[in-house]
Structure 1
Amino acid sequence: MARFPALQEANRGLLAFVTQTGRFPLGQAAIQHQQDSLFHLSQRAVEKGARLVLWSEGSSLLLKQAEPALLARGQAFSARHRVYLLMALGVVMPGPIWAANGTSVRPFLENKTILITPSGQIANVFYKNHPVPLVEPSRSGDGQIPTLATAYGRLAPSICYDADHMATMQQLGQKRIGLLLLPAGDWQAISPFHSYMAVFRAVENGCSLARQVSGGLSLFVDYRGKVLARHDGYARGDNLTIVSLPVNNVSTLYTRFGDWLAYAAMALLAGFVLQAIRQKRPIKRKPISTLFVLPVA
């Protein structure tokens, strides 16, 4: 942390915002502007024919008391345009951040998604199952990935770092998910590698993937890993991507047997080692002759 003074300063600002929210009217105005921008982009997506709108991870950072108003706005938007909307929120729970014992920081953030149906109803609320250790003081989910059956196929949300956990992602194949909605937030040092890592989860579990990213590479792929659209968050231009994705699940060996290939490779390697040990023969060495020269009397 000492190597990144800008990050330290940002963290100090965030902690002050959490503990003393009333002191930051300009911050509140910036939050409102960000929300307006999200709905403006969502409106443009709908005008271009989108039937599902996906925000990137934590697109809207807001206080807990402001959440009902934003949800009502999202529900009205979905109902008015008859579209699915996946809102990705970073909800801050203000107040003292230190736990009662005074030795740790309490989780003061809800990193979550809220999926709203075309009728304006909330289908599910998903909390990130695997907050990034040491850097993300947020409430973790229950380990489950919720699903929603639609006219297009089965949808499921998850968030960013969750896709690094293969065991959690196996639910995609087990639940026959057709499209994984994976809002994410990266930074330049891990982009685009983190996005390509997530593609493996789609291929393993036979589903399409929509990984909408802030601060990185957004990727939209089918169940074979074929990239159908991409957007570089560091490139100039629009932050809106329109893509048509298949929403169907294909059964895979990984879904049925898990990490069978890795275990098979380990077993094969062990077999080669045992065979080499059994075939090992001792090396016969010729005796070394020693010539003694006796003195002549």
Structure 2
Amino acid sequence: MRTEQLDRRSEAAPPATGGRRWRWAWLGAGTLLWLFAVHGRFDIAVAAWLSPVLLLRFVRTGPALGGLAAVWAASALAGVFWLVETVVPMSVIVVVGIIGLGTLTVVPYVLDRLITPGAGTVTSLLLFPAALAACEFLMTLLSPFGTAFGVPAATQHDDLALLQVVSVTGPYGVGFLIGWFATTVNHLWEKRLRGYALRTAGAYAGVVLLALLAGGARLAFLPPDGATVRVAGISPDTSATRELHATLSADLTPQQVASRDQAAVRAAFGKVNANLLARTREAARAGAKIVMWSEQAAGVLAADEQAFLGQVAAAARENGVYLQAAVSLVLPRAPYAANRTYLYDPSGAQVWAYDKTHPIPGLEFYPPGDGVVPVARTPYGRLATVTCFDADFPELMRVDADIMLVPARDWAEIGPVHSQKASLRSIENGYTMVRQAEFGVSGAFDAQGRVLAAHDYAGGDRHVVLSDVPVRGATTVYRVIGDVFAWACLAGTVVAVGLAVRRRTR
């Protein structure tokens, strides 16, 4: 007992001087690994686990101010690297926003460096992961970028057994485990593999093993089963889109489109819309009972909206399908555009009209919708919808549904990445997601994250993706209790900070 007490107290002591010779190497290696752990095109899953280990070692073994400034620079570099590798248009808002999010990811290092010296084993092991999960949660709750950057769960997209934890904790549980791994390895490093440190490492290994076993068991013994329905996702033919852009450049703003000759705009939109309706009829003949179009697939002038919706209703009625039309609505006055989806049932009645809740900051300038995700009961389960970037916001996506329809519009470099991020919402909430993305990767994911269908826009001219998906979802812990785990991490972090302040002011 006496030895264990001395061992715990020694954690407050400054690190060994000899270790400082390597600290800049740890910073360099940790920064390099961080570049491949931002969920971009070049991610390496294990890099998300190793980078915090090395950066935490760097911060703990040197002066606080200089070390934390260096980690902030690493976070900014990682953010800019993510923008470059995914070819995100670099507006001022986007660049400042990503660097700001990167700054928030440094907060756990700040708290660990300032609080854990002199604290006990539990604090030195759990403060960093709790703060990491709390900061991820605050990003998705408060920032306009959601989980687009700074949430490491999506870097583990190929490990479905591990990802089942998000059905309980939301995406923040994975970040917690990654942070806990970093403190556990550092504890072993500092204690030179002594007995008490080995026991704490064993406790961590036991938790991770339990999570993997539970996730594997969920995949093996509780797969989605029962009746299925065929869903068709449709994007305009590549040739139709090219013809549209030959008349109306893709670089035109909604205001510029609204100022063009309306007859010419109407004719250009009409060709694409006719293509979409033709592909809808083909999908119905192929057995689809639900048909959805990709984000802003149809272009419609405000003056033509009712006539166009009449065509959509007729197509739903004549083909006996639920048809969701995704429309770029051009308005004659500011804000000049709306990003709207309409669902029609097989009788031709409108079920919902939904405006995108989260326009992309700095890139999309139409007003957001009301933030209410529509849900409709049908013979094929409860259908719901959001639009593209909306799926990067876990709280918005916490919906009691069986099938989530996500019309999207990406670009080649971000297509696979964005699809993988969105698939986490299926595991979190227990529904099937069908995501149709023009210019990106379309697909369907079951309630445990399995890929049911996939289609790369670059693979051909036609973009009709058929998938047979379960009509019944599953109830998950996360959908019922929400962000209890994240709030607990935030509360624990605040308590630890408060106790540290109290201790130092005595």
TM band (smaller chain): 0.7 to 0.9
Secondary structure at the aligned position of 2:428 is classed as helix
Query: Are residues 1:90 and 2:328 paired?
Result: yes
Q: Distance in 1 between matches of 2:452 and 2:384?
A: 19
Aligned partner of 1:183 in structure 2 is: 407
Show structure 1 runs of 5+ residues with no match. Answer: 4-8, 96-105, 277-297
Q: Distance in 2 between matches of 1:243 and 1:260?
A: 34
Q: Distance in 2 between matches of 1:21 and 1:111?
A: 22
Residues 1:78 and 1:2: Cα distance change in structure 2 (over 3 Å): closer
Aligned partner of 1:15 in structure 2 is: 255
Q: Distance in 2 between matches of 1:2 and 1:221?
A: 31
Instruction: Note the 1:134-149 alignment, pairs <5 A.
Output: 134-149=362-377
Among candidates 451, 462, 467, match of residue 243 of structure 1: 467
Aligned partner of 1:45 in structure 2 is: 283
Among candidates 292, 316, 321, match of residue 78 of structure 1: 316
Residue identity in the other structure for 1:184? A
How far did 1:36 drift? 0.8
1:95-119, CA deviations, whole angstroms, 9 ceiling, x for partnerless residues?
Answer: 4xxxxxxxxxx32111011000000
Query: Are residues 1:109 and 2:337 paired?
Result: yes
1:228-265, CA deviations, whole angstroms, 9 ceiling, x for partnerless residues?
Answer: 00110111253111111112231111112223344455
Choose between structure 1 and 2: higher helix proportion: 2
Residue identity in the other structure for 1:110? A
Query: Are residues 1:151 and 2:379 paired?
Result: yes
Instruction: Please say which of residues 120-129 and 267-276 is displaced more in the overlay.
Output: 267-276
Query: Are residues 1:122 and 2:360 paired?
Result: no
How far did 1:275 drift? 11
Residue identity in the other structure for 1:55? W
1:160-204, CA deviations, whole angstroms, 9 ceiling, x for partnerless residues?
Answer: 11111111111x1xxx20000110000122121011111111111
Secondary structure at the aligned position of 1:256 is classed as helix
Q: Distance in 2 between matches of 1:123 and 1:14?
A: 27
Residues 1:2 and 1:273: Cα distance change in structure 2 (over 3 Å): closer
1:269-294, CA deviations, whole angstroms, 9 ceiling, x for partnerless residues?
Answer: 88999999xxxxxxxxxxxxxxxxxx
Instruction: Please say which of residues 241-250 and 114-123 is displaced more in the overlay.
Output: 241-250
* Contact 2:254 2:330 survives alignment (8 Å): no
Runs of 4+ with deviation above 3 angstroms: 9-15, 260-276
* Contact 1:82 1:118 survives alignment (8 Å): yes
Q: Distance in 1 between matches of 2:429 and 2:471?
A: 13
Q: Distance in 1 between matches of 2:338 and 2:325?
A: 13
Q: Distance in 2 between matches of 1:17 and 1:154?
A: 37
Q: Distance in 2 between matches of 1:218 and 1:2?
A: 25
Residue identity in the other structure for 1:109? A
* Contact 1:110 1:138 survives alignment (8 Å): yes
Greater relative contact order, per chain length (Cα 8 Å cut-off, separation 6+)? 2
Among candidates 401, 420, 435, match of residue 196 of structure 1: 420
* Contact 1:207 1:247 survives alignment (8 Å): no
Residue identity in the other structure for 1:233? Y
Q: Distance in 2 between matches of 1:146 and 1:14?
A: 26
Residue identity in the other structure for 1:253? V
Residue identity in the other structure for 2:343? L
Aligned partner of 1:62 in structure 2 is: 300
- State TM-score, norm by structure 2: 0.47
Query: Are residues 1:169 and 2:434 paired?
Result: no
Secondary structure at the aligned position of 2:443 is classed as strand
- State TM-score, norm by structure 1: 0.79
Q: Distance in 2 between matches of 1:137 and 1:21?
A: 22
How far did 1:35 drift? 0.6
Q: Distance in 2 between matches of 1:12 and 1:221?
A: 34
Aligned partner of 2:360 in structure 1 is: 132
1:60-118, CA deviations, whole angstroms, 9 ceiling, x for partnerless residues?
Answer: 112101111111111111111111000000100024xxxxxxxxxx3211101100000
Q: Distance in 1 between matches of 2:453 and 2:90?
A: 38
* Contact 1:155 1:178 survives alignment (8 Å): yes
Secondary structure at the aligned position of 2:354 is classed as strand
Secondary structure at the aligned position of 1:145 is classed as coil
How far did 1:220 drift? 0.3
How far did 1:132 drift? 1.3
Show structure 2 runs of 5+ residues with no match. Answer: 1-88, 92-248, 501-506
Rg larger in 1 or in 2? 1
Residue identity in the other structure for 1:107? P
Aligned partner of 1:101 in structure 2 is: none
Instruction: Please say which of residues 148-157 and 236-245 is displaced more in the overlay.
Output: 236-245
1:9-59, CA deviations, whole angstroms, 9 ceiling, x for partnerless residues?
Answer: 75446533212443x62x432211101110111111011000011100000
Q: Distance in 1 between matches of 2:282 and 2:250?
A: 32
